Amino acid sequence: MKENWGEWLKKYRERLQRQDQADEKRKAMMDSVNPKFVLRNHLAQRAIQSAEKSDYSEVNNLLNILSRPFDEQPHLPPLYSDPPGEDAPKLCVSCSS
């Protein structure tokens, strides 16, 4: 697996060198199509557990955050943008139709 990663990284660096684009512009383009905030399972579960106790504040929090997923929203703690920590509950979800 590490071999594949190294090969991918080499090709990516070569591609960056061929493109005549500043890193700042490339980052701005990537940020415009990749949201900073997404509904992660551990966040949804937290909101569900609060709502089951008639506390809808976290549901409202997530609604406000996810209504602007591309905005930086620097006032928010990393909990909302970082991957789940090791202490986050392991959730198994499935979708059925």
Residue with tokens 């569900």: 48
Q: What tokens does 41 get?
A: 């399972």
Cα distances from 23 to residues 7, 9, 52, 71, 73, in angstroms, run 21, 16, 46, 19, 22
What is the 3 state secondary structure string of 18-29? HCCCCHHHHHHH
Q: Helix, strand or coil for residue 76?
A: coil
Residue with tokens 């979708």: 95
* Model confidence pLDDT, tens digit, residues 1-41: 667 888 899 999 999 889 888 999 999 999 899 999 999 98
Mean pLDDT of 46-54: 96
Residue ranges with strand state E in the chain = none
